[in-house]
A and B are shown apart, each in its own frame.
Chain A
Amino acid sequence: MGALSTTVFVISSAVKVVVIFMAWLLAVAGVTLAERKLAAWIQDRSGPNRVGPWGIFQPLADGLKNFIKEESLPEGASRWLFHLAPIISMFPAFVVFAVIPIAAPLPTPWGTVEMIIADIPIGLLFVLALGSLGVYGLVLGGWASNSKYPFLGGVRASAQMISYEVALGLSLVPMLMLSGNVSLPEIVAQQQETLWYVLPLMVGYLFFTVSYFAETNRAPFDMPEAESELVYGFHTEYSAMKFAIFMMAEYSNMIVASALIVTFFFGGWDIPFWAGDNMRVAADGLIVGGTPVWWVTVLTGLAFAAKVGFFVFVFIWVRWTIPRFRYDQVMSLGWKVMIPSLVVYIVVLGFSMLALESAGVQFSTTYMLWLTGVNVLGLLAIMFWLDRKRVIIGSAWRQVRPEQIR
Chain B
Amino acid sequence: MAIGVIRVDRPEAGASYLRATLKGMALTFKHLVKPITVSQQYPEEKWELSPRMRGTHRMAVHEDGRSKCVACGLCPTICPANCIKLIPAEDENGERYAAVYEIDEFRCIFCGYCQEVCPVEAIHLGVHYEAAEFSRERFVYDLERLCEQDHPFTQLWDPEDPYSE
**A residues neighboring B (CB under 8 Å):** 38, 41-46, 49, 317-318, 320-322, 326, 328, 382-383, 387-389, 391-400, 404-405
Contacts and interface: CB of A to CB of B under 8 A. Distances in A.
Contact of A389 (B3, B12, B27): B12
Contacts of A405: 6, 8
A207 B56 CA distance: 61
B32 A41 contact: yes
**What does DSSP make chain B's interface, helix, strand, loop or mixed?**
loop
Contacts of A46: 36, 39, 41
Q: Which of B5, B7, B16 has the most CB of A within 10 A?
A: B7
Contacts of B17: 387, 391-392
A317 B25 contact: yes
Closest 4 interchain pairs by CB? A394-B7, A389-B15, A394-B5, A321-B28
B23 to A, nearest CB: 10
A49 B43 CA distance: 12
A388 B2 contact: no
Contacts of B49: none
A383 B9 contact: no
A321 B24 contact: yes
A194 B3 CA distance: 53
Contacts of B34: 44
B78 to A, nearest CB: 44
A388 B12 contact: yes
A333 to B, nearest CB: 9
A325 B81 CA distance: 51
A322 B1 contact: no
Interface string B9-43: 11010011111010011011101101010110100
A404 B16 contact: no
A387 B15 CA distance: 8
Given A38-B32, A44-B34, A322-B24, A383 B7 contact: no
A41 B31 contact: yes
Contacts of B36: 41, 44-46
Nearest to B2: A395
Contacts of A318: 25
Contacts of A388: 12, 15-16
A396 B5 contact: yes
B162 interface: no
B4 interface: yes
A81 to B, nearest CB: 32
Given A41-B32, A43-B31, A46-B36, A394 B12 contact: no
Contact of A42 (B1, B6, B31, B39): B31
Contact of B8 (A317, A326, A391, A400): A400
A400 B39 CA distance: 45
Contacts of A399: 7, 9
B2 A317 contact: no
A396 B3 CA distance: 7
A317 B32 contact: yes
Given A396-B1, A396-B5, A396-B7, 5 more contacts: A38-B32, A42-B31, A388-B12, A391-B17, A400-B6
B24 A396 contact: no
B29 to A, nearest CB: 7
A387 B10 CA distance: 13
Contacts of B10: 389
B7 A326 contact: no
A391 B32 CA distance: 28
A45 B35 CA distance: 9
Contacts of A41: 31-32, 36
A320 B24 CA distance: 10
Contacts of B39: 44-46
Contacts of B18: 382-383, 387
A399 B114 CA distance: 66
A382 B19 CA distance: 12
B28 A317 contact: yes
B28 A395 contact: no
25 contacts: A42-B28, A43-B31, A44-B34, A44-B39, A45-B36, A45-B39, A46-B36, A317-B29, A317-B32, A318-B25, A321-B21, A322-B21, A328-B2, A382-B18, A383-B16, A383-B18, A392-B17, A394-B2, A394-B7, A395-B2, A396-B1, A396-B3, A398-B7, A400-B6, A400-B9
